[in-house]
């Protein structure tokens, strides 16, 4: 079937699809399978879709959208699973703003029930010039390949208690300071559910390059994929010429997206020039710092996030945890300067 679609979600961005597409009823059910589907309902909350350029556009009932199969486990969003089988006419859901598709099993009331969509077929791509033999599309078709001999680049890790803990704000503040100091800075999002908003924000703040796990062919990170994606991303950014990488781990250190696998990887943690931890409140700050030390042997260099939004939280962190506390939103330059000092101490930049 030949169709013209209305919106192509960012999860498919590496395929560079056109809006006129050919579909097949022979659907391969696995994470990353690219589907076209018709939206069946309207929403007035959480009702946009990020396109391949990063623009958010409102979704309407009747729109034909292109996304990719995956799962989601979001405390402040949707819980969705990969369907065991998908056929034409099946009804599934849009699980996130990046166009990940699956079957929603629970949702946070703040975002409302998800969009429901009717499956129209799997997208076909034609990688060989003038070939009429289409291949069933998957987001991994143009994914980054592992580099075996890339140099090791120092990494500033940014982790947190959960989603919406201020990790991207902290990463961006650090990127700006490092870039202004003359370093070639790269940004990375290592875990989460496919959405390029955060890595585009990193570029806005001075990152010369920015990649995430979707660039490695993954819709939703997991303990099985997170380490390999991180290695591929770091190797690619190092080979491109980055002096330092600022890497955000999406979700929390106790979530389901594979952050624990990265924290427990001695080789990946061995690249750390600094470790920032973002917490929503004092209890999260104290528990997170303790868990990182006891479970992974990791010490936090700077604590940030909403727990430091005013002097009350800053005093708690400094007095009870013995850590510097710097807020990324209200005191971004100071946070950046502190991390710049740690990067200098790691020998990346002369003082």
Numbered ranges of CATH 3.40.50.300 in the chain: 155-345
Which pairing describes strands 34-39 and 116-125: parallel, antiparallel, or unpaired?
A: antiparallel
Output the six-digit token pair for 106. 């629970």
Q: What is the pLDDT of residue 349?
A: 60
* Under 8 Å between Cβ of 35 and 121: yes
**H helix runs in 247-322, sequence order:** 259-263, 266-269, 282-296, 311-316
Classify 263 as helix, strand or coil: helix
Tens of pLDDT, residue by residue over 77-89, are: 899 999 999 999 9
Q: Which residues contact 154 (CB under 8 A, 6 or more apart)?
A: 243, 244, 245, 271, 272, 273, 343, 346, 348
CA dist., res. 351 & res. 346, Å (int): 11
Separation in Å, CA 3 to CA 36, 97, 119, 138, 252: 9, 23, 13, 18, 40
Alpha carbon distance 82, 100 (integer Å): 10
Identify the bridge partners of residue 116 per DSSP, sorted by sequence position: 93
CA angle in degrees (0–180, nearest 5) for 105-106-108: 155
Specify the fold of 155-345: Rossmann fold (3.40.50)
Contacting residues for 54 by C-beta, under 8 A, at least 6 apart: 10, 196, 197, 200
Question: pLDDT band for position 110 (50/70/90)?
Answer: confident
Q: What are phi and psi of 65, to 5 degrees?
A: -120, 155
Residue of 52, 110, 42, 51 lying closest to 76 (CA atoms): 110
Distance in angstroms (rounded) separating the CA atoms of residues 186 and 156:
10
Q: What is the mean pLDDT of residues 125-130?
A: 77
Q: State pLDDT tens for residues 149-199.
A: 778 899 999 999 988 899 999 999 999 999 999 999 999 999 999 999 999
Q: Is residue 129 pLDDT above 80, yes or no?
A: no
Query: Average pLDDT in the 20-42 region?
Result: 97
Confidence of residue 351 (pLDDT cuts 50, 70, 90): very low
Q: 250 or 31: whose pLDDT is higher?
A: 31
Task: Tell me the average pLDDT across 102-126.
Answer: 94
Predicted TM-score (pTM) of the model is 0.93
* Interatomic CA distance for residues 171 and 200, integer angstroms: 12
Percent above pLDDT 90 for the chain: 87
pLDDT of the residue at 255 = 85
Give me the mean pLDDT over the 290-300 stretch.
Answer: 97
pLDDT band at 131 (very low <50, low <70, confident <90, very high): low
Q: How confident is the model at residue 1 (pLDDT cuts 50, 70, 90)?
A: confident
């Amino acid at each position: 079937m030949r169709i013209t679609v209305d919106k192509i979600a960012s999860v498919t961005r590496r395929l560079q699809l056109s809006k006129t597409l050919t579909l097949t009823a022979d659907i391969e059910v696995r994470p990353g399978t690219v589907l076209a589907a018709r939206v069946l309902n309207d929403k007035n909350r959480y009702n946009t879709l990020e396109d391949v350029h990063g623009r958010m556009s409102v979704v309407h009932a009747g729109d034909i959208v292109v996304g990719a199969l995956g799962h989601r486990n979001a405390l402040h969003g949707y819980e969705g699973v990969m369907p065991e089988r998908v056929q034409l006419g099946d009804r599934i859901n849009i699980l996130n703003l990046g166009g990940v598709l699956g079957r929603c099993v629970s949702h946070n009331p703040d975002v409302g029930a998800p969009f429901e969509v009717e499956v129209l077929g799997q997208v076909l791509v034609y990688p060989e010039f003038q070939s009429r033999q289409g291949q069933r599309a998957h987001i991994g078709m143009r994914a980054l390949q592992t580099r075996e001999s890339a140099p090791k680049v120092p990494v500033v890790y940014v982790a947190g208690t959960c989603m919406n803990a201020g990790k991207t704000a902290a990463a961006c503040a650090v990127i700006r300071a490092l870039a202004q100091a003359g370093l070639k800075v790269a940004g990375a999002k290592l875990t989460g559910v496919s959405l390029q908003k955060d890595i585009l924000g990193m570029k806005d703040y001075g990152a010369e390059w920015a990649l995430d796990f979707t660039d490695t062919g993954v819709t939703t990170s997991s303990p099985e994929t997170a380490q390999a994606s991180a290695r591929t991303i770091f190797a690619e950014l190092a080979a491109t010429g980055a002096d330092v990488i600022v890497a955000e781990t999406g979700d929390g250190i106790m979530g389901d997206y594979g952050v624990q696998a990265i924290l427990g990887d001695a080789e990946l943690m061995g690249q750390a020039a600094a470790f920032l931890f973002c917490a929503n409140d004092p209890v999260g700050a104290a528990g997170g710092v303790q868990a990182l030390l006891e479970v992974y042997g990791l010490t936090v260099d700077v604590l940030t996030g909403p727990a430091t939004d005013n002097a009350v939280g800053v005093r708690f962190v400094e007095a009870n945890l013995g850590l510097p506390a710097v807020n990324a939103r209200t005191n971004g330059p100071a946070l950046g300067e502190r991390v710049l000092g740690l990067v200098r101490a790691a020998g990346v930049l002369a003082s």
